[in-house]
Amino acid sequence: MDPLTTAKRKGCAVLGLGTSGTAAAEFLVSHGVTSLFLCDKNPEKARDPAVRNLLVRGATPRCGAEWLQGLPAGLLVRSPGIRPDLPELLERRAAGATVIGETGLFLAYSPARLFAVTGSAGKSTVTTLTADIFRAAGFDAYAGGNLGASLLPALPRMTNASVAVLELSSFQLMDLSPEPERAAILNLSENHLNWHTGMDEYRAAKERIIGHNTVGVFPAFDRSLRDVGRGRKETRLFSPVPPTPGDLRPGETWYAPEGGTVCAYSNEGVRRLFPVERLHLPGAHHLLNLLAAVALSDGIVPVGAMEEAVDGFRGIPHRMETVPGPRGVSCIDSSIDTTPERTLATLSALSPAAPILLLGGAGKGLSYRPLKEPLRRGVKGVILFGGAAREIAEALDGIDFRVIPDFSEAVETALSLAQPGDTVLLSPACTSYDAFRDFAERGDLFRALCRAAR
């Protein structure tokens, strides 16, 4: 039974009323689902304009302490941050309920060719660039999933000639088997360990992106990820350096020596695609993102379209975006850097500049120790803010820093300390959920404060 039929016959509940939850609820109501509960543990969610619009159209609110009580045995649509193994969901499953996410709802009705991207870092950039490459080649292409806005409203415009490129998080993949045509696992490092039971669960969720017939795209330098594709007819690898003959397997390896040419290397020889200089984003991590996007699209789109899209790509919002600052100070919004690994990559891309760094937010259960030595060598100052400030301070013992819990005050202090020619960098190494709806809202406030100080 398809999800809409299940919802209409047996009732439906949407669990979590954030962006994905309200999008799923809108889709269900617009397709004639009348028995719909809107559930969220935050009682204030019932006052959100998007939720109130759904209530006017017949949905029933269930927000607050009783949000998981009395769930129907029909369709349960969980938001990504809600674990699929909550006792209430397991009990409903045993009673015959179908539990899916907003992305699963989209996949149930999408006619488009599917490409997917996951990993601990770089997902949004690779997803966006891959969709841009398909568009440059004339495809009706969409980017979505964990990236931001839901693709459910776009379904009426899609055909079997369309392309959907989905960024998928471990939260989404916990109970999702998407079966994409091609899929990339970009990298794997500690992340979201405040939510997952451990690295084994986190890794298993990521690996679910590779379906039975999926062509997998993996980093050539990570043998543990390459093993995910072992035994498949074709896997695709990307690498910053040319592969050795012993590393070749069915398929190709895309590589690009710094300052050189993007190449594809297989047992048949080398294909030269386009100059690396077409990529206008700094840092070794952006070069790897480029190679992953090319590996996902090469052979389907012409090289000229890839080159055109890469040449026009300027990154994604809140990833190393320059913001005008006061008194000749350069401000950089990299609010999307929600792990220490991403902060280190941003600092490396900015080297040799030594910024005044803003760190903090809500922790993910990760270690901040890897930041200590790079910060000792490569920053002019450190200001810690938000819920994780004390935890980060313990990891940075021996380094000079200031703890200013309030985000706005922390930004204003950084700007006041900066001299003409200095850089103030927001690269928090933490999520934003202690004080903001998401990283974009945090980044927007940073930008506003920088502009206001001019």
Give per-residue pLDDT as tens, 321-354: 999 899 999 999 999 999 998 999 899 989 888 9
Q: How many residues does the chain have?
A: 454
- Per-residue pLDDT band at 115 (split at 50, 70, 90): very high
Cα–Cα distance, 291 to 264 (Å, whole number): 10
Cβ distance 370 to 396 under 8 Å? no
Domain boundary assignment for the chain: 3-101, 110-312, 321-452
Q: Tabulate helix, strand, coil % of the chain (nearest 5).
A: 40, 20, 40
Residue range 32-58: mean pLDDT, rounded:
93
Q: Given this model, what pLDDT does residue 1 score?
A: 79
Instruction: Please state which of the ranges 50-64, 188-202, 327-341, 399-413 shows the lowest mean pLDDT.
Output: 188-202
Q: Residue 242 CB: number of other CB atoms within 10 A?
A: 15
Q: Given this model, what pLDDT does residue 141 score?
A: 98
Residue range 29-53: mean pLDDT, rounded:
93
In which residue are the tokens 């004390």 written? 390
Angle at CA 29, nearest 5°, toward 28 and 34?
Answer: 105
Residue 287 has pLDDT above 90, yes or no: yes
| Residue 297 parent element (H or E) | helix 284-297
DSSP state of 431: B
Q: What is the pLDDT of residues 262-284, one digit of tens each?
A: 999 987 888 999 999 999 998 88
Q: Inter-axis angle of helices 19-30 and 102-109, to 10 degrees?
A: 40
Residue 444 has pLDDT above 80, yes or no: yes
Residue 124 has pLDDT above 80, yes or no: yes
Tell me which CATH code domain 110-312 carries.
Answer: 3.40.1190.10
Of the chain, the percentage scoring pLDDT greater than 90 comes to 75
Q: Provide the mean pLDDT of the chain.
A: 92
Tell me which CATH code domain 321-452 carries.
Answer: 3.90.190.20
E-state strands within 75-148: 75-78, 98-101, 113-118, 141-145
Cα–Cα distance, 283 to 317 (Å, whole number): 17
Q: Given this model, what pLDDT does residue 250 score?
A: 56
Q: Given this model, what pLDDT does residue 430 score?
A: 96
Residue 367 has pLDDT above 70, yes or no: yes
Residue range 394-414: mean pLDDT, rounded:
95
Cα–Cα distance, 282 to 265 (Å, whole number): 24
Cβ distance 432 to 362 under 8 Å? yes
- Pick from 98, 57, 91: which is nearest to 77 by CA? 98
- Token pair belonging to 159: 């055909």
Q: Given this model, what pLDDT does residue 30 score?
A: 95
Cβ distance 366 to 393 under 8 Å? no
Q: Given this model, what pLDDT does residue 364 score?
A: 87
Q: What is the pLDDT of residues 225-267, one digit of tens each?
A: 888 877 777 889 999 888 776 665 557 899 997 669 999 998 7
Q: Given this model, what pLDDT does residue 119 score?
A: 92
Q: Given this model, what pLDDT does residue 257 score?
A: 76
Q: CA separation (Å) from 137 to 166, 263, 292, 306, 406?
A: 18, 19, 17, 8, 46
Global pTM? 0.90
Residue range 48-77: mean pLDDT, rounded:
93
Sheet containing strand 269-275, strands side by side: 141-145, 163-167, 113-118, 182-185, 215-219, 235-239, 253-255, 261-266, 269-275
Q: What is the pLDDT of residues 71-95, one digit of tens each?
A: 999 999 999 989 999 999 999 999 9
Tell me which CATH code domain 3-101 carries.
Answer: 3.40.50.720
Of the chain, the percentage scoring pLDDT greater than 70 comes to 98
